Amino acid sequence: MNEKYDVIVIGAGNAGLIAALELVKSEKKVLVLEKNNVPGGAATSFVKGRFEFEAALNELCEYGTKENPGEVYKLFEKLGVNEKLEFNNTLEAFNVYCRDTSMHYEMPFGINEFIAKMEEYVPKSSEALKKFFYLAEECKNAIFYLEENKEYVDTNYLKKNFPNFLKVATSNVDKVLDILKLPKKAQEILSTYWLYFGSPTSTLSFVHFASIVYSFISKGSQIPSKKSHQISLTLAEEIEHLGGEIKYLSTVKEILFKDKKIAGVLLENGDIYETKHLISNISPNTLYSNMMPEPLIPSSAIKLTNSRVLGARGFSIFLGLNQSAKDLGLDNYNYYIYDSLNSEKEYQNMSNIKNTSCVATILNNVVNSASPKGTTIMHFTKLFMGDTFSKNITEKNYFEIKDKIAEDIIDDFEVTTGIVIKPYIEEIEIKTPVTYAKYFDTPDGVIFGYKATGMDNYLPRMISLDEENYIKNLRFCGGFDVKLSGYCGTYLSGDLAARLTLKDIKMEGSDE
């Protein structure tokens, strides 16, 4: 007899773990199947020499603090895991270097502090910036209202309480910042964080950008004291403690159907597990192309998936340095190294293999004990779009190319900041889109889901959630889903997928 579960979750990434925990808390019989030997997907750590490196997390948005909690804090509170975790506030919002003007801007957290600092860099920017934050807060509240009242949206309430949100709901960032008359230089500094959206401000949804930047500046960003693996491990332990099962080294090969309805999954090792409800923490691209019989995939699902653009591919350099950050002069937490503050130009650079724009973080400046005393952990994240990386490599030149990219990034960091790090490298680990494709099984080593651009962003995806639920009892979660990528989006997306699945189970009960 094959074992039967109320729900099977494919993948133990951030979203899969949250979905599973929420379901076991609702007393469902849950199985999580994970192809790797540890939970977390990207949210993990790895050891090299005497260093344990954080594998992904630079900034966790929407956690906040007990006094000023964000959506992730509230979710973790609901799931009862906050007291098992310890977080530290990062130092500054952005510390950005632009090579074209040789300028360097350091922006603090806190809305008043942010506005005051901007006024120093860009005189006469504060009134427009105040308007931006006012509007950004309204957008955030409007999104919250829409999410909570999706079944019945009271348009009069919407018009009365969120009139400005309605005016900007379909606009891009540039358009709204121009309307607010924010000076161009202040627009560019404010938009430093665009990189994590993977879309230039000319096509990035204002509502999406503003609501995240509002949370980021007002609540700060946090990182866990024992790397993000601590969060993943805590979630996994809690699932198992409450009776859920997680099977590692268990790669799902095929979704099984009976009478065109979800019936279970087949693993690569031949095991079969039965269920009527699946949650996929892996992308629709992977699921539809490799794991389902084609005739059972509705053509609208294929059309939608094909219409979406894959987001940024990741290239990371992890350095273990044999000096303290203080001795090296690495005083900040984050270093954005851009050719220019113009996001359109920088976005074009993401298609140039030789470009060295990147963001670097210094873990020890937030978590003192992140590595042995007198050492430093430094992490560079570089993003490429499309096939920029893959078209330049062959099996033969792979190591040469990746080493060259890493060397150029480190050299240019030193030249731009004047901080010397190369002689102090004790350990180096380079991860490329090939590594990420292999580890997460994401298409092309994408690390930020689908590009959130034009009309394909959070708000329209959320509004069409019901119409896009193409296969009964199959729900998606994670970086490729409605709440977009990043730790915050994926945790919240796991929560949403669990709630929708509970609703599906209830509906099924009333059908029978």
Tokens of 269: 């090792």
Nearer to ligand FAD, 27 or 403 (CB): 403
Q: How far is the CB of 198 from ligand FAD (least distance, A)?
A: 11
Instruction: Report d(CA 255, CA 218) in Å as an integer.
Output: 43
Instruction: Report d(CA 285, CA 44) in Å as an integer.
Output: 24
DSSP 8-class letter at 60: B
Nearer to ligand FAD, 60 or 115 (CB): 60
Q: How far is the CB of 507 from ligand FAD (least distance, A)?
A: 25
Q: How many residues does the chain have?
A: 512
Nearer to ligand FAD, 165 or 487 (CB): 487
Q: How far is the CB of 240 from ligand FAD (least distance, A)?
A: 16
List of residues contacting ligand FAD (CB under 6 A): 10-16, 33-36, 41-43, 56-59, 251-252, 281-282, 314, 316, 381, 436, 440-441, 447, 478-479, 485-488, 490
Q: How far is the CB of 126 from ligand FAD (least distance, A)?
A: 29
Q: How far is the CB of 472 from ligand FAD (least distance, A)?
A: 21
Instruction: Report d(CA 89, CA 9) in Å as an integer.
Output: 32
Q: How far is the CB of 380 from ligand FAD (least distance, A)?
A: 9
Nearer to ligand FAD, 46 or 134 (CB): 46
Instruction: Report d(CA 277, CA 9) in Å as an integer.
Output: 9
Q: Which of 334, 306, 313, 317 is nearest to 216 (CA)?
A: 334
Tokens of 503: 């609703």
Q: CB-side exposure of 330: number of CA atoms within 13 Å?
A: 27
Angle between helix axes 71-79 and 487-511 (nearest 10 degrees) is: 50
Instruction: Report d(CA 128, CA 133) in Å as an integer.
Output: 9
Nearer to ligand FAD, 125 or 432 (CB): 432
Q: How far is the CB of 228 from ligand FAD (least distance, A)?
A: 8
Q: How far is the CB of 164 from ligand FAD (least distance, A)?
A: 27
CB 118 within 8 A of CB 190: yes
- Strand 261-267 and strand 272-275: the pairing is antiparallel
Q: How far is the CB of 398 from ligand FAD (least distance, A)?
A: 19
Instruction: Report d(CA 389, CA 500) in Å as an integer.
Output: 37
Nearer to ligand FAD, 200 or 478 (CB): 478
Tokens of 505: 């189970």
Q: How far is the CB of 358 from ligand FAD (least distance, A)?
A: 11
Nearer to ligand FAD, 57 or 217 (CB): 57
Tokens of 323: 């000096």
Instruction: Report d(CA 24, CA 239) in Å as an integer.
Output: 7
Q: How many CB atoms lie within 10 A of CB 508?
A: 13
Q: How far is the CB of 127 from ligand FAD (least distance, A)?
A: 31
Nearer to ligand FAD, 19 or 118 (CB): 19
Tokens of 311: 């987001």
CB 509 within 8 A of CB 502: no
Angle between helix axes 206-219 and 126-148 (nearest 10 degrees) is: 110
Nearer to ligand FAD, 264 or 314 (CB): 314
Nearer to ligand FAD, 211 or 316 (CB): 316
Instruction: Report d(CA 246, CA 489) in Å as an integer.
Output: 23
Phi, psi at 237, each rounded to 5°: -60, -40
Residue written as tokens 């269920």?
275
DSSP 8-class letter at 37: S
Nearer to ligand FAD, 59 or 427 (CB): 59
